[in-house]
Amino acid sequence: MAIGAVGLILGMSYPFGSLQEMGPGFFPRVLSLILLALGGVLILRAVKSSGDRVGDWGWIPLSLLSIALVTFGWVMEHLGLIPALILMTLISVMAGERGSRTEVLLLTCALCSLAVLIFVVGLGLPYQLFPDF
């Protein structure tokens, strides 16, 4: 809910527009309202439930996934899409149950292939695929 509130506050500085002509503030505000609503529903369900506590936070997986996202952003900017996806996938795999090397390799290849097909070929986005050495 905090992320939704911050997004809503920051989105207020941009023009909202209308459904036919969406302004730059439309998406952040709508997404923030959805986050706030979902957070409110989750809080209400948590308050109403009388069950036992599910478990502790998985701090290591949460940290690894955050590191994977930050790494993706940095590597994407400096080395290109393919190295960024490879590193993000490898770091993310460490956050969960360990899969076989074959599964990780297939997942990485599929993710890279789909990203190139969708973003570079399909949408024509000018992403750098590999570093320029």
111 and 68, same domain (yes or no): yes
The answer to the question of residue 127 being in a domain is: no
Is 86 a member of any domain? yes
54, containing H or E segment: none
Say which residues have a Cβ less than 8 Å from residue 80's Cβ, sequence separation at least 6.
127, 128, 129, 130, 131
**pLDDT tens digits for 46-66?**
888 877 776 788 899 999 999
For tokens 């109403």, the residue is: 48
What is the number of structural domains in the chain? 2
Same domain, 35 and 65: no
Alpha carbons within 13 A on the beta-carbon side of 119: 14
Is residue 128 situated within a structural domain? no
Positions in the chain short of pLDDT 70? 54
Q: What is the pLDDT of residue 58?
A: 86
pLDDT at 110: 96
**8 Å CB contact between 8 and 31:** no
Same domain for 77 and 24, yes or no, is no
Residue 33 lies in a domain: yes
Residue 78: CA count within 13 A, CB half-sphere: 7
Tell me what pLDDT residue 46 has. 83
Instruction: Write out the residue range of the structural domain in which residue 91 sits.
Output: 59-122
